[in-house]
Every structure is written in structure tokens, then in C-alpha cells.
Structure 1
């Protein structure tokens, strides 16, 4: 039986790295032998494990991209969020508020990255499922290879692999020799990185391997701390007491010009980039042991720890879009640059220079809450393989992981008059995974695998949102659990010497439950039970800033507004039917039909209380408790996809060209999408102006929640062509070209929540009222988010070998992606529904984008050492990964500007 731990040919690890040839000993004395060895431009064989057994990449009937640690290093990739340009039809954006990547494949993604959500692309580490999206932020180091599979992979990989799966396979300890290496890297923004590997063959049957990676980097944002904002509790005294601003009035930031209340404004204070948002301060290490007491038994056990102590990420203002927005006063009137009411819309008043001051751009950020992140991930992974006989092997993969996250981040970034922040306090996510497999190992016509899977996740999450003027909210979810169990089987039968039939089946049962969870609030109407006074000093800035920085971390000050105890269960059967045909020794054709399943889910249970409409006061029962009018429960159905795929994998031009082409069609039912949604109206006392004075008039607001819904059906069509070509002895091209077409095909009546008050020119209460039919739009015909029609990637690497054994390896990479949309709203397709005179100011179109990367590497003989210079984003292109928000907030993480540096590695 072939096992993953068996040594592979060195060329396997290098085929997709773009290097023309494997590293081999080359000296002047053996130069003629060396030239004879490498006097070929045939491509090497690549081994993958996409079918949970070793197969040749070009003979595996799955759309799969595989690459090694060499390629990760060359492209500067340290975690999954950087992989987007490497894989056809793969897109990755970031949610800064929760330090989570949003991974999309073939136009499908999940933006619910809370503890209630499930990803659309499964992540596996050494074949073991990783549930939280933050796990994709962990550093990738000492990797054997990364395999990115596209299309439903549910029969073998199970949970949330509806559109694809990523499996990161770490290097295993080796028995044959002692090995060690150390690498260092330095670059722009004081970037420093070190990594190392130590392999110790303790005996012929036992080996140890240890590896680590550490990275620090200053922020690439132009950051400032603003003592004029509402919440300055987290700022050091020297910043809180910054000198009074004495510059020209027109050079003030928007926040300085519109400071809450009257009084002198203060200078902004330049932030230290070493601990400001979008910096890097992280490390990881792994210790693994491999024991093979006999040819039939192998067991690897690994412990890994990842720690992120950075400031977290920050969204920035999209300057081009913000400059198109219109500024209004609290009553909805247009205003001019002097703050006077204008009869016509005035643009340009909400652009970056107007908000932040002269010279500001997309990288400028003003905050009053310094970023704080403490994210740790500890994991244990076990891989056991035992040949029970010559025909059958037992495989048992088990894993345990615990993620703990504390975070505090500024959410408004000085853009609006609302000073908002989000925090998490020791949010803990603990999971365990077990999978037992029986595999055939003989040489008969039937090769099969059967197994059972069990997964459990226990979450304890506390966190909150501080809206510094009027209120704070707290999420207290001490016991949210997920259990998933499945049985599966898949087999491939050789109908003839050339034709193979594959059949797969998997039955899954999922259960999600919340026990004792509550959403809570603290505002001017709620009482702090510890003091007997109002828990929130509403609209009192001085009193607010007298509160301790950990005041809102205490759930005891809040009043419960929801009882989230809820449970949901779902079951589903996945199938896969496929045929592959060996046309000749150099060409294979395959086709399959398979379905995918993403579990249904639960949401918060919100409570609507009875109110007096004339006073907005809550009605109480005989015990003094609020009277409940209705409970609003949120559950949603599973997402189901059926995919049809045809593909070919061929080797041409005397073995110098590999081409993999796939044509696919996917039909989605009950597709899941997450967005803000109004669920019920409530009465509030109207606020007169931005000073916070109340008029006594009663108006209606709407309780709005972020939740997942089923949006109906969608169709996705596409073509992916990957190639790897060595046209000359020392030159190598590789890359891909893709075409993608997505469409929502059913009626999807959507209550508009993106910039609704501006687009429809109504107040917040009317905009969020779920019964307001004027705010509803049918999104049938819209494209899915992050679905560019065309994209392309082209790499070229050339290896110059010298008689003394040295080699010089230049590499150039170009990526281009067509325009698409940031969201499924497709704003420009619905201009007729809006009232505003400038609907294009709210477009969610994501412009076309391109980037160029380049490296130059010098290798010593035997690759004893190497040194490499690199430049990423050579042409300094700018990309906003996500755009959203209402009113004049246009936010999104922004790509890193041109980044350059040098790295070196020494092999002992």
C-alpha cells in the first residue's frame, strides 16, 4: 500500500513551484553528468491525495491545483488568505471585525463568519477538518504541499465542501538523515521573518521534526489617533491631552470640524506603525513524531501552536466612491461646504480629504480605539495507518483544536459622527474530529474506501458592540454546540483497461444548538444592577469617558433582550457518479455529477416587547418584567448544489506541456446569503440634532439583525484551463485562464439594506421597517459576488545553471481579473428603484484588477544556501476587498501597496 508518509521523488514537491528542475548536486567535476541528467524539458509527475490515496495529478478525475512550500515561499504566501491568485476561480476577502477570511470558489462564499456560520469552502489540515474561518489565518510553514480542489467534495471530505476544499499537508519526519535549515527575511515597513526546521531520525523506526515561523511588520496604513472622537478611554493620557489645533480651518478633519458639543478641537496624533492596525506580529511552531515499527504500521502525532498578537485589521475609506457621495443634515437636507442647506446635491464633501484632511488617501485611518488582538490556536493532529492485510488498510485520523480570541477594534474609523467599536473577550472555540477509514490496497479492478466521521465543536463566545453615544450591546453565548456525524463510501471500478466508473455516497447528520445564550443591551433606559443607576450615560461624553476601559466587558450591567435557546437538526445524502476514460498514454477525459450540502443553521432569538406608542415606555407585568409581544426565531435551510463537470487532462509536445481543462455547470437550491435584516419595529423618543437633545416626539425604529437567509436558486457556469509548459530546457511557464457566469435564477424579494436611507431618501425607521414594501427589490437576474467573468494567471521561471554549480533563477508572475461585484445587491442594476439623484455613488461594482510579482534567486551548489530578492505588487495596484455600509460609510480592507525585500535560507 502506498502511504502519504513514504518518501516521494523530490521532483514531486517542485512541479508546481515553477522551478524548471529539481535541485541536484552539480560541481565542475560532474558537470557533464549534470548536463546529461537535465538535458530534457519533460515535466515531472505530481502526486496528490485528493481521493484520500496517492494518485498522479494528471490521472486524478478532479479539478485540483497543487503546489509546494517552494512555491508558497516564492509567492510570499504565509496563510490561506494570500492564496486567491494561485487557484482558478478562487477569491478571498477579509472581515476585519472578526479577523476572518471569506473564501469563495466559483462564485460561492459564506459571509456569515460568526460562530453560527459555516464556510462554503472546506479547510483541512493533514486531512482533518478545521471549522473556524480564523483557522485559515494560521501560518503555513514547513508544508509538503497544498491541494485546492474545486467542485463538490462532500463524499470524501464531508462538511461544507459544497464548492471546494483546501487541504494543507505538512511535511512528515524523515528516517533517512538529519536535516536542518534556517531562513530569514527582511523587507519594507520593517518586515522581519524567521523560520527554521529540524529533522532528527532517532532510530530506523522513529523520527522527530520541529519547525517554526515568526513574523513582525509595521502597518502600511497612514494611521492617526483622534482625541476629538467620542470614546477616548483607550488612548494614553498624552494623546487625550494633545494640544489644541491651531491650523487652518479648511485643513481640519471632518471629525474636528464636527466635534460633539462645543469647545476647542485637538491635534491628531500620528500613530506608531509598529502597533497600529494592519501590522503583523505572529508566530507558530509545530512538533511532530513519526513511528513506523513495521512495514504495515505508521503513526504520526503532531502538536501545533499559532499566536497572533497584532493590532488586527482595519477597514479604510474608498476615496473614489466617497467623493461621489452627497452630504446631508440630520433632517435629510442637502448641505454645502459651509454647512448651509443647499437646494441641490453637493458632492465632494465626504471624500477622503474632506473627512481626514488634505493629503489623505485610501490608506488614511483615524481612530480613537487602538487595535488589540490576541488570537491563539492550539491543535493536536494524529494520523494512524495500519495494513490489516495485503488487501485492506485501516486509517484513523483524529484532531483536537482550541481557538481563543480576544479583540478590540475601532469600527467607524473617524468617518461618521457615530463612534463605534467591537470587542471579544476570550471567545473560545473547541473542536474535535475523528474519522475511521477502511481502504482497499490490492491491485484488483475495484479500489474502494469506506468510513465513519464524527465532529463536535463547543463554543463559548462573549463580545459586544459599543455605539458610544446612545448604547452598547453584548453577546453572551456560553454554550453553542455543533455535532456532525457521517458514514461514507466511494469506489472506482475498472470497467475496462481504459474506462473507470466511480460511485460515492455519504450520509450526514448535523445538529446545532444554543443553550443559555442571550443578546443583551445597555442604554439610557437600562439599570446597572450593581449600582442601581442607568448603565449607560447616554449622550454625555464626559461621563462616558469616566468609565473604565473594561466597563462594557461585564455582562452583569446589561439587560437581556433575547433568549437564544434554539436547536436545529438536518440530514443529507451526498452522491458522486463519475466516469474517466484513458484515451491514450497522454490523455484522460472525465465527467461526473455530484451534489453538495451545506448544513442549515440557527440564529439569535430576538424578543419584541410591548410598548406604549405615545411614550415609547415598555409595559410591565405584575412582577415588573417587560411583557413579551413576540419571539423572533431565525433558522435557515441547508444549501444544496448539483454540479455537472466535464474535463480533460493531457500531456503534449513530447511531455513538455500539461493542460487541464474543466467545463462545469452548478445548480444551487436554497442558496444561503447573510445580510442585515429588519425584523420588527419599536418606538423611541426622537433625537433632535447631533448634540443628542431629545424632543419628546415619538418615532419608529426597527430592530435590525445580521442573519443568514435562503435566497432561492442560482446557476453557475464556468471554464477553467490550467497549464504547465517547459518549452526549453531551463524555462517554465505555468498558469490558468478562467471564465465564470453566475446568476440568481429565482425571485428573490430583498428588503434593501445597503445605504438604504440615501438610495431611497427616507429616514432610518422607514428604511429598516420590514413592512415597508417600497424598500423591496427583486434581485432575480443578479450576479453573485466575487464572480469575475474572466481571470488569468501567467508565471515564467528561468533557471540559469553555471559550471561551478551555482544557479540564478528569475521569476515573473502576472495576474488579471475582470470586474465583478462586491455583493449580490448589484446596485447598478436597480437604479430605477431608487430615489436619490446620484445612485452611482453607491455602486458595488468591483473594478478590474491586475498585479505583477517578481523574484530573483541565487542558489549555491547543492542548494546549501540561497538568497532571493522579491517585489510583490510591482506596479503598486490598489484593491478594496469588500465595500459596504450605509449612509456615507464606504468601507473595506485594502490591499498591501508595493512590498519588497530579501530572504535567505541555509541548509545544514
Structure 2
């Protein structure tokens, strides 16, 4: 169960007091959030100099007037990060959840996000980049993190330099690059709970004085967490009684319930089976010219995450479900990324290009097993969410020219172009009772070609008024062109002459005689443009302390949904002030940011029922107001301890919105255009936005004989209650305040090998990350996605 925590005001004393004690003790270290991306400081008692690329040039983190969290490679290793889900607690105001039916990860930053960004339509509010190449679809957030130099999270809109879909922030993953004239590498393997097996490694190979190659790989797998509940044990007499009651007393057409319809073996939900490999090249024929090129392949054969009943059925385990659709997930992604940079005459010209290819499929038990059938066609329903196929191809080009060196005027100019070609077939068969039963509703959403074409020009200039005062302005103009070509929703026609069988991949709903007709005509063409801007001033109070203030805007384009209906773009204006300081002669850093965001025309989207047919609908809410405070502290305790502390406070208020969603049981809607059920949510708090959150990490290295070391570590997270949807529907739609802890112990030998053991979710807390309801509005059955239960693992590795 979720661990109980005292009231926040009582709780705050301990970690804050600890931070103050550390400050007074005069120790300095690097927390996970601000560990160096590469290199180490010359003085081991001081903090390494952390460099970031938030301004598209390499600058010191403490000298960059942007709210940035930089997570180093070593910090990712400490938390054993495999996907972005393992990183969220390290970054102030960052939240995320896995989405079951599409098997992806949705991201929320500073209270702004969109759980519906799991579909082929939706664009996320937090833009994801890998080595500066945009990853446009939400599947990108599910790929494995491996062989990275680190990652950067830019908090607040980044609409000038990073462009569309960075409405509220940007995440940039930085892969490890080849090194000239150096042969090195590492290998690691491990085992753990739920039959976990893992391996990863990399090798750097110098080919000649100007060319080097690096090969890296990773594989992670474990069994699913969700056990299968046994088939319903119903007497034949009770089945006949239930069937007759629903059919006017008649037993005509009665069939005995087939227990084999319920899955009892095979892969379980919440299993992992992922692999990835990357080969990178560095060509550097001169000091002025550098070319980085990489090829990456990702493969996923795990299973989706199952939503569980928040109150388990009597006699059943919490981590179990009555499953009538076996889980499957098949995803393959290929990426090519290139960066060419040439320095000349006090300027730098850079060309960044990327190509991405994705294909996938999956099956998911959308009825979640919350109801037990009383006969083969009564008492429950069978619903599958099946991605029969999905694919996307995307490519992007960015060319920038910027000044280099120290000048009175620093500038950057850039042009950008990106294109996508996406498609999907997504089936939803719903049968009364079981797969044997009659059709409740079923349909196939086939979008053969959806295209995105985006062009932009941008520029940014910084006037260095004095050595201490710097004024920056930036503009970006973006034009988007989006098309849905041939998209259709094919719905069951209830033709009595057609056999009532669940829609499946082998059945073509577009063919006459199969019982389907085109209910939604989704052909549409959307064009729009937007100018985003940045105004910023920063002032160096001393060589170790800087303050800054900024006004910045972000933008996400509009588009079209089912039925070809257009929705408008959303925009965000952010007012921010911040402090960055290096204390105790370089042994501590403390960064602070305060912000207020005005979010306009928020794109709310959800599955709804209109005129008896299911579709995915969009609407533009009036917007939202979000205010907050974020703090990050890093310190070294003596010469052998590392402390990291992050704090965030977030206050949100949703603007005018009447929302509908099939994922929740809602009251009957007063507006038929919004579907059968809806709720006015104006003034509600935004989901995934706890008012207060804290992350505390500590690691201490004990020096043993012969140069060996032993390093225990603990990571502690606490946050107050937060809603899981815009509906704010009570305890079922809310995660109460909770705390979790991870612990680890690493033994490092002088001869380059190590053993690392760790436990995640030490208290086995049950933490909800999203929710939904079945049944009725008056008597709902609540379900939720949860973080993983307590797991343990041990890794061993060797560096060479």
C-alpha cells in the first residue's frame, strides 16, 4: 500500500534541515540533476563544471539563464534509468505515466501535458530530441536510454530555438560520441526479480587519426507483474438463468460459457523485452570541421501496462486481472542522425539532419476484467484495443549560423524543415458478455496517410551591455501544413445476415458484405502559422551568482480529428525569474526559478461517443493558469559524499472547458455534440501536478584497502496529492500524498570491475499514475495504472 506520510508542513523540516546542515558543513557535491555531462573537475572537493547545449551552443550550466536540469551519465547509472519513466523524479515539476492500450509514455511538465498524446493524431507538449533531432511521435519516449553522455530538460516554453511542440519544455538526450585515438569500452550484465535479465555495453574504436567509431547495445527483459486470475466458475444453471432473464425467459441460442476464453498462461501484462543498438562515427579532419553520424535500431517485444482495479475483487491479488485478451506489443524503430559543424572567421555553421522509421502493433484488454460475465452474453463486456498496424516516417533538417567567441553582440540564425507520413489501423471490438456474445459495438479506425509539413525560420541575439548585463531577444516563425488523406472510421452496421464475431486483423472492414460502413470521413487539410518569441535579461551579481528574468512563448499547431473536424493551436506565455549560484568556493550549487504561465486554447482530446459511434474528439479549452517555484541544490559532504535535493511547488487552475471521455463514467451530457456523457471542469486543477514535490539523494563513497571503494546510496521521493484527470472526480481519480525510496550499494574494484545491487520502490508503495472508471457514474469501478512494485537487481560490469 502507499506509505503514509505526515502533513507536508511537518514533513518539510527534515530534508530542508538536512540541506541547511549540509550547507553549513561546507561540503560540496553533484546531485543527479547537475552532475557533469562529461569530464571531471581538477579539484575533487569542488563541483565539476557542467556544460549544457540549451542555447544550441556549449555553455556552463551555471552561466546559462534558463531553467535547466542536466542529468549526467553517471547519475543515470545511479538510478539505473532504462526509459524516461525512470528519470521523472529527478527533474522538478516533471511527471509521466505509461499508457496501456498504445504502450507509450505521456509526459507532463509544470502541470502541462496531455494524456491523449498516445494517439497517432496528438502531439506532446514536451518536445523530445535526441542529439538535437526531433522525435515527433510519443513512441519516442518509450525507447531505451543507453550509452548516453546525459540528458537535459529545459523547463518552460522553448519556442524560439527548439520550435513547435515545445509548448512547456524540451528534453534533449545526448548520446555518447566516439573519441579519436582512444580504444575503450565497458560491459555490464545483471539479473533481478521477475526473472529480470539485462546486458549493456559499448566499445570505442579509433580507425585512424581523423576517424573513430563507437558501438553500443542494450537488452532488458523481465516477466510481467500482472498475474492471470482463473476463469469464472459458473454453474450451467446460473448461466441459463442469467441468459433467460435477458431474453424474455427463452433459452433459444444459449451457449455454455467457454472457460478457454480467459487467458491463463503465456506472457503477462507489464513485461519488458527491449533491445537497442547504435553505431556512431566521428570524422574530424581538422580543428574546424567535425561530423557526427549515428545509426540506431530499437526493438520492443514486451507487453503493455495493465490498468488494475483500485479495489481488488474479493479473494484476488492486487497485481492480477481477469484477462480475456492476451497482451502483445511489437515495435521497431530505426533512426539516422547527423550533425556537421564547421567553424570559420568567428562563426560556426551547423547542419543537423535526422531520419526516423517506425512500425508497430499490439493487443490490449480494454475491458480490464472489472466485471465477471453471468453468461456467455450477459453481465459484462469484452473489449479489445488492437493496433493492427501503425507506422510513421519522418525526417528533419536544421541549418544554423551563429557567432563564436566573446563579442559585444552574440547572434544565431536558423532555418528548419520537418515532414512526417503516418498511418494506423486501430480496431475496437466490443462484445456483450464474452467473445461468444453478441456485438455491442465495434469499429476500425483506418488512417492510411496523415502528413505533417513544418517550416520555420528563427533568430536570437544577445547584447552584452557590460561584462555583467546581458539582454537577449529571439523570434521564430513556424508554418504547419497537416493532411489526413483517406482516413475513415468503419463501424458495425448490425446487419442480421452477417455473423457476429469480434473484429480481428484478418477481417477487412472496408470490403462489402463484412458488416461495416464508413461512419467517419476524416479527410481534412489544416494550415496554420505562429510567431513565438523570447525576451530575457540576465545580470551577474558576481562571478558565482546570476539572476535572470524572461518572457517566452511556446506553440503547438492545430490539426483535425475524427470526422475531419478542425481544432486550433495552443499557446503558452511564460513569465519567469531565476537565480543561479555557486557557493562554498565551488563546493555547492543552488538554483531557483519562479514562474507564471498563461496557457491558452489547451487542446483537450479524448475518446467519446457521438450518435452511437465512437470517435476521438478535440476541443480547445479556454486555457489554464499555472504558477510555481522550483529549486535545485547540489553539495558534496566532505570529500566522499554527494547530496542532491530538488523541490517544486505548483499551482494550477483550468479555464473554461466542458469535457467528455469514454475512459470515465460521467453524467449525461447537456450538449449532444460532446457525446453521451460530459462534465464541466472549469476551475479544476490540472492532472499530474502535485502542489509540492521533493527528491532527495545521497551517496557516500567509502575508500577500502588497495584502492577499492564501497558506495551505498539512497533516493527518496515525496509528493503531495495530485489529480489524475481534469475531471477531479474524488479519491478514485486522485493519488494521495506518498513517499517512495530506492536504495543501492556499489562495490568498485581498483582493477576496473564493479558489482552494483539495488532495490526500487523499497516500501512497495502503490502509486497511481493514471486512472479510469467503469460501471456507472453513481457506482463507478475505479481502475488505475501504477508504478512498478518493489523490485531488486544486481549488476556486474567491467570497464576497459
Corresponding position of 2:16? none
Alignment of 1:861-876 (within 5 A): 861=750, 864-876=752-764
Alignment correspondent of 2:6: none
Give the whole-Å Cα distance in 2 for the aligned partners of 1:478 and 1:37.
57
Alpha-carbon offset, residue 223 of structure 1: 2.1
C-alpha separation in 2, matches of 1:284 and 1:115: 23
How far apart in 2 are the matches of 1:710 and 1:24?
46
Question: Hey, what does 1:377 align to over in structure 2?
Answer: 333
Residues 82 and 18 (structure 1), Cα distance of their counterparts in 2 relative to 1, 3 Å cut? closer
Confirm or deny: 8 A CA contact 1:20 1:731 kept in the other structure.
no
Deviation at 1:502, TM superposition (A): 0.9
Whole-Å separation in 2 of the counterparts to 1:437 and 1:678: 47
CA contact (8 A) 2:33 2:72 kept: no
- CA gap of 1:23–1:494, structure 2 versus 1, over 3 A, is closer
TM-superposed CA distance for 1:881, in Å, is 1.3
Secondary structure in structure 2 of the residue aligned to 1:552: coil
Q: In the alignment, what sits opposite 1:180?
A: 185
Residue 455 (structure 1) aligned with residue 447 (structure 2): no
Per the alignment, residue 739 of structure 1 pairs with 649
My pick for the range that moved more, 582-591 or 364-373, is 364-373
Alignment of 1:878 with 2:766, yes or no, is: yes
Aligned to 1:207: 212
- Give me the whole-angstrom Cα distance separating, in 2, the residues matched to 1:267 and 1:578: 65
Match of 2:359 in 1: 404
Aligned equivalents of 1:777, 1:380: Cα separation in 2: 45
1:261 Cα deviation (Å)? 5.3
Shift of 1:552: 3.4
Q: CA deviation at 1:294?
A: 1.1
Q: Compared with structure 1, are the counterparts of its residues 504 and 572 closer, same or farther at alpha carbon in structure 2 (3 Å cutoff)?
A: same
Supply the distance in 1 between the matched residues of 2:142 and 2:307 (Cα, whole angstroms).
17
Residue ranges of structure 2 left out of the alignment (5+ in a row): 1-28, 372-379, 432-437
Find 2:558's aligned residue among 600, 608, 612.
600
Number of the residue aligned with 2:151 = 146
Match of 1:292 among 270, 273, 284: 284
Q: How does 1:287-366 map to 2 (within 5 A)?
A: 287-319=279-311, 352-354=312-314, 358=315, 360-366=316-322
Other-structure match for 1:650 = 581
- Measured after TM superposition, the shift of residue 20 of structure 1 is 9.7
Q: In structure 2, what is the Cα distance between the partners aligned to 1:384 and 1:125?
A: 15
Q: CA deviation at 1:657?
A: 1.5
Structure 1 residue matching 2:522: 3-state secondary structure? coil
- 2:541: which partner in 1? 583
2-structure distance, mates of 1:750, 1:427: 28
Aligned partner of 1:891 in structure 2 is 783
1:84 lines up with 2:88 in the alignment: yes
Change (3 A) 1:453 1:523: same
How much has 1:665 moved relative to structure 2?
Answer: 0.4
Deviates more, 1:108-117 or 1:372-381: 108-117
Partner of residue 779 from structure 1, selected from 677, 681, 685: 681
Bigger shift: residues 728-737 or 769-778 = 769-778
Preserved CA contact (<8 Å) 2:35 2:71: no
Alignment of structure 1 residues 473-492 onto 2, 5 Å? 473-492=443-462
- Aligned mates of 1:37, 1:495 — CA distance in 2: 32
Using a 3 Å threshold, how does the CA distance of structure 1 residues 77 and 23 change in structure 2: closer, same or farther? closer
Take 1:18 and 1:570, find their aligned partners in 2: how far apart are those partners? 37
1:421: which partner in 2? 384
Where 2:269 maps in the other structure, the secondary structure is coil
Equivalent of residue 530 in structure 2, options 572, 582, 590: 572
Trace 1:157-176 onto structure 2 (pairs within 5 A).
157-176=162-181
Alpha-carbon separation, structure 1, partners of 2:685 and 2:83: 29
Match of 2:347 in 1: 392
- Greater C-alpha Rg: 1
Contact 1:515 1:566 in 2 (8 A): yes
- How much has 1:427 moved relative to structure 2? 1.0
- Cα distance, 1:362 vs. partner? 2.9
- The verdict on how the C-alpha distance between 1:148 and 1:755 changes in structure 2, with shifts beyond 3 A counting, is closer
SS of the residue corresponding to residue 76 of structure 1 reads: coil
Cα-to-partner distance string for 1:316-336 (whole Å, 9 max, x where unaligned): 1111xxxxxxxxxxxxxxxxx
Change (3 A) 1:21 1:370: closer
CA separation of 1:365/1:768 partners in 2, compared to 1, >3 Å: closer, same or farther? farther
TM-score by length of 1: 0.77
User: For the residues of structure 1 that align with 2:764 and 2:580, how far apart are their CA atoms?
Assistant: 36
Equivalent residue, structure 2, for 1:368: 324
Q: Which residue of 2 aligns with 1:507?
A: 477
CA offsets 1:291-349 (integer angstroms, 9 cap, x no match): 01111111111110000011222221111xxxxxxxxxxxxxxxxxxxxxxxxxxxxxx
Shift of residue 69 of structure 1? 2.1
Instruction: Write the deviation string for residues 623-651 of structure 1: whole angstroms up to 9, x where unpaired.
Output: xxxxxxxxxx4211111111000000011
**Structure 1 CA distance for aligned equivalents of residues 687 and 36 of structure 2:** 39
Q: Partners of 1:194 and 1:754 in 2: how far apart?
A: 38
For residues 204 and 774 of structure 1, the distance between their equivalents in structure 2, rounded to whole angstroms, comes to: 68
Spell out the pairing of 1:54-133 with structure 2 (5 A cutoff). 54-112=58-116, 113-133=118-138
Q: Give, in whole Å, the separation in 2 of the partners of 1:208 and 1:729.
A: 36
C-alpha displacement of 1:804: 1.0
- Is the partner of 1:58 in helix, strand or coil? helix
In the TM superposition, residue 678 of structure 1 has moved relative to its aligned partner by: 4.7
After superposition, the C-alpha distances for 1:352-387 in whole angstroms (9 at most, x for unaligned) are 224xxx1x1331112122111110010100111112
> Does structure 1 retain, via aligned residues, the 8 Å contact 2:307–2:783?
yes
CA distance in 1, matches of 2:33, 2:658: 48
Note closer, same or farther for the CA distance 1:136–1:794 as it changes in structure 2 (3 Å cut).
Answer: same
Residue number among 686, 711, 716 corresponding to 1:814 in the alignment: 716
SS in 2 for 1:154: coil
Higher strand share: 2
Deviations 1:250-293 (A, max 9, x none): xxxx99x99995646748977446x2111111100001111011
Contact 2:150–2:174 at 8 Å: present in 1 too?
Answer: yes
- Structure 1 position 553, deviation (Å): 5.4
Q: Secondary structure at the match of 1:594?
A: strand
8 A Cα contact 2:419 2:453, kept in partner:
yes
> Structure 2: how far apart are the matches of 1:311 and 1:824?
28
Question: In structure 1, what is the equivalent of residue 25 of structure 2?
Answer: none
- Aligned pair in 2 of structure 1 residues 79, 751: CA closer, same or farther (>3 Å)? closer
Q: Equivalent residue for 2:636?
A: 726
* Number of residues of Structure 1 aligned to a counterpart in Structure 2: 741
Q: Say if 2:263 and 2:326, in contact at 8 Å, map to a contact too.
A: no
Give the distance between the partners of 1:772 and 1:807, measured in 2 at CA. Answer: 62
- Normalised by the size of structure 2, how large is the TM-score? 0.87
What is the CA RMSD across the aligned residues, in angstroms? 3.0
Give matches, 1:539-688, under 5 Å: 544=501, 550-552=505-507, 555-556=510-511, 557=514, 558-605=516-563, 633-679=564-610, 681=611
CA distance in 1, matches of 2:587, 2:279: 39
Aligned partner of 1:853 in structure 2 is 742
Q: Secondary structure at the match of 1:85?
A: helix
1:901 to 789, 793, 797: 793
Contact 2:106–2:115, Cα closer than 8 Å, also in 1: yes
- What's the secondary structure of 1:136's corresponding residue? helix
Structure 1 CA distance for aligned equivalents of residues 447 and 131 of structure 2: 30
Task: Give 1:712 shift.
Answer: 0.3
Rounded to whole Å, the distance in 2 between the matches of 1:673 and 1:19 is: 34
| Structure 1 SS opposite 2:385 | strand
Aligned with 2:700 (options 773, 798, 801):
798
3-state SS of 2:77 partner: helix
Distance 1:303 1:20, change over 3 A: closer
Distance 1:264 1:594 in 2: 61
Check the 8 A contact 2:82/2:145 in 1, yes or no. yes
Report SS of the residue matched to 2:276.
Answer: strand
In structure 1, how many angstroms separate the alpha carbons of the residues matched to 2:38 and 2:419? 44
Equivalent residue of 1:804, what SS?
helix
